[in-house]
Every structure is written in structure tokens, then in C-alpha cells.
Amino acid sequence: MRQRVTATVGVLALIGLVFALNLYQLPVVALSPGPMEDVLARLKVEGSRVYDSEGKLYLTSVGVDDDVRFYEALLDMANRDVQLLPRAQLYPDNEDSTEIDKENVALMDRSKETATVVALRKVGYDIEPSGVEVTQVVSGAPADGKLLAGDKILRADGHAVSSIEQVRKAINGHRAGERVAFRVDRGRTQKDVSVPVQEADNQPRVGILLRDLFPDLPVKVSITTQNNIGGPSAGLMFTLSIIDKLTPEDLTAGRRIAGTGEIELDGSVLPVGGVAEKLIAVRRLGVTTFFIPAGNCAGVRGQVPHGLRLVKVSKIDDALRFLRDPKAAATAPGC
């Protein structure tokens, strides 16, 4: 009888432990291959003639599970297509998943705007910024508590500014310990703010991130994505798709091409996260060509699916050369 009670208690304790472990949320996130979308099919243009394409240009994404339980983690570790990362790497302690999602939506919108500007410039439009906005103030930096995210910088050291380049020029004209005089528009009220300069990476800095603002563009472009895709990583494929729509030449030439990469206003293509998972999704769909930022090459060595060709790009012109010139496509560098 005593042994039977002991055994029963042991079973109940084991059941309780299993139940508790199943409820325990681990401080990790699981990355997996996400959905792909043909940007050309999601793109609408107003104010310009558009041209059809026979092929497809796919954006790629990563699925993120931020509610990983103990037994799910065991299954994920056994799945070669899933990568577990520390939760803090994607979700800082002071931000919850809702805030991160909002930031990713904002980054996606900004990526679309940047892609539109870069594409319009590539097809011949002369587009210059009309203003500059503070997007982030680095905690503990000289500008912390003086400038705020959302401030529009109107003047720097008494000179009117309308671009990031002009603001940087004003800051670079100072030595560490000197001050930059800003006039900003904050909630429709103009304020004068003096910010000391400090040296970082051998350059004068005040600790702000900026973005160029643009007037109403001559061509209106809208891109409607599905599957709750966010972040800046579709910028390269947005840009190529807009250029393809606005030019008589079919850049795809009937091909199905995928890619990833954040686009900058100067046409640079920056590395992004989750590329290994994107490669898996691409190969599953049967796509055999993938544009990859040069900065991501080292991170995917040994993880490229068989039969998938990577085409390394550092700037938008690298991708355009591949699409337009068969000889360049044949010899384009990979990773």
C-alpha cells in the first residue's frame, strides 16, 4: 500500500513537472523560413506609364516565434530549418513585442519610400530631400534630453538645412567640446537647442539618427504586402520592382528571382538578418537565383541549399547589371 501511494505521488509529481515545463516560456525566439511574395504583383503606380513583366521578383521574409515553450524548443533544436536566438537579441528588455512590431511596420514604410526615391532617380527623375528629421536619440549621448525623436531640424549653426548631408557637414565642422546650434520644429513650435559635440570613431558626433524627408513625389507608388511582413529587408526587391514597372525593358526576362537587403538613398545595399532561413524558403519554391547583400556572405557559408545561386550585391547597380546584361549575369560574383 505504501509503495502504491509513493508511486502515485511520483506520477503526479512527474505530470506536474511536465505541465510546468510546457507552460514555461524560454528567453529565446525561433526563426524559420517565412513567406515569399512577388513584389511586381503587389505594386501599384500612379502618375506614370507602367510596363508588364513576364517574370517575378520575390521579397523574402523570416517567421519569428517569440513564444517558445520548453518542448517546442526541443523540437526546434531537432529541426535544421529553425534557428533559436536569445530573445534579447530581437526584443530589448525595455521594449515588448507590440512596440517592436510597430517599429517594424514603420521600417517597412520607410523602406518603401526610400526604394521609391532610389528607383525614380534611376529612371531619370531629379529628386532632392526637402527636410531632415530626428528618428532616434542615442541614450547617454550629448543630444539625449536635448533633441527628441520627431524633431525636424530647420537650421544648424544658423544655416538652413534640408538634408542629412547638410546636418552632418555642420556637425563635422566642430571639435569635441564645441556646440552645435540647432533650430528644430517640435510639434509645430520652433525651438533653439545647443548640443555639445563628442568624438566617436574618430568623428565628431552628437548621438542622433536622422532621415531625409521628401516632398510629394512625381510618381506615386504603393506596395501592399501580406503575411504581416515588416522591417527594412525588402528594400532591394522593392527598388528593382519599381524600376522594372517604370521601364519598357523587362528586367526579369521571364526569370523568377528572389533577394533581400536594406536599400539606402545612395543605392547601397545593407546586410539584414535571417538570410539562412530565407534561402531555405527560396529553394523550396523552386527559385534558383538569390540577390544577397555582400555583408551577408560570410554568415551563410555552408548553409546554401544545393542548386541555389547567390548573386552578391553591394549597391543597386550590381543587381541591375545582372538583370540587364547576360554577360554580366554569367560572371556575376557569388558568395
Residue pair 185/151 in contact by the 8 Å Cβ criterion: yes
Mean pLDDT for the stretch of residues 77-89: 60
For cell 520627431, the residue is: 150
* Best mean pLDDT range from 84-88, 101-105, 181-185: 181-185
Cell 523570416 found at: 62
Whole-angstrom CA distances from 94 to 90, 138, 225 are 12, 14, 29
Q: Residue 69's beta-bridge partner residues? A: 25
**8 Å CB contact between 308 and 282:** yes
Q: Which single residue is written with the C-alpha cell 536635448?
A: 146
Q: Would you state the cell numbers that stand for residue 76, as one nine-digit string?
A: 526546434
pLDDT digits (tens, 9 = 90+) for 176-214: 999 999 999 998 899 999 999 999 888 999 999 999 999
Q: How far apart are CA 5 and CA 297, in angstroms?
A: 61
Grid coordinates standing for 238? 522593392
Q: Assign 188 to helix, strand or coil.
A: coil
H-run or E-run covering 40? helix 39-42
Average pLDDT over residues 307-317: 97
- pLDDT digit string, tens, across residues 120-175: 999 999 999 999 999 999 989 999 999 999 999 999 999 999 999 999 999 999 99
137, 149 contact by CB (below 8 A): yes
Collapsing DSSP states into helix, strand and coil, what is residue 82? Answer: coil
pLDDT per residue as tens digits for the range 33-78: 788 999 999 999 999 999 999 999 999 987 665 665 655 655 545 5
Checking if the pLDDT of 320 tops 80, the result is yes
The dihedral sign for the CA sequence 104, 110, 112, 114: negative
What's the pLDDT at 17? 46
Nearest residue to 90 (alpha-carbon basis) of 159, 27, 183: 27
pLDDT confidence band for 103 (50 / 70 / 90): confident
C-alpha cell of 49? 506609364
The pLDDT score that the predictor gives to residue 200 is: 84
Q: Is 59:37 a contact under the CB 8 Å cutoff?
A: yes
Assess whether pLDDT exceeds 80 at residue 107: yes
Q: What is the pLDDT of residue 2?
A: 47
β-pair partners for 53 = none
Which amino acid appears at position 86 of this protein?
Answer: P
Q: What is the mean pLDDT of the chain?
A: 86
The set of cell numbers assigned to 53 is 513583366
Q: Any bridge partners for residue 290, and if so which? A: 258, 310
CB 93 within 8 A of CB 291: no
Q: What is the pLDDT at residue 87?
A: 63
Angle (CA) 324 325 326, round 5°: 120
Residue ranges of alpha helices (H) inside 80-127 are 87-90, 97-122
- Tens-place pLDDT, residues 8-34: 545 444 444 444 455 555 566 666 678
Residue 38 and residue 57: Cα distance in Å, rounded? 5
State how far the Cα of 222 lies from the Cα of 288, in Å rounded to an integer. Answer: 28
Strand partners, 161: none
- Per-residue pLDDT of 240-252, as tens digits, reads 999 999 999 999 9
pLDDT tens for each residue of 256-290: 999 999 999 999 999 998 899 899 899 989 999 99
User: Would you state the pLDDT for residue 16?
Assistant: 46
Would the pLDDT of 84 be above 60?
no
Query: Between these two residues, 286 and 92, which has the higher pLDDT value?
Result: 286
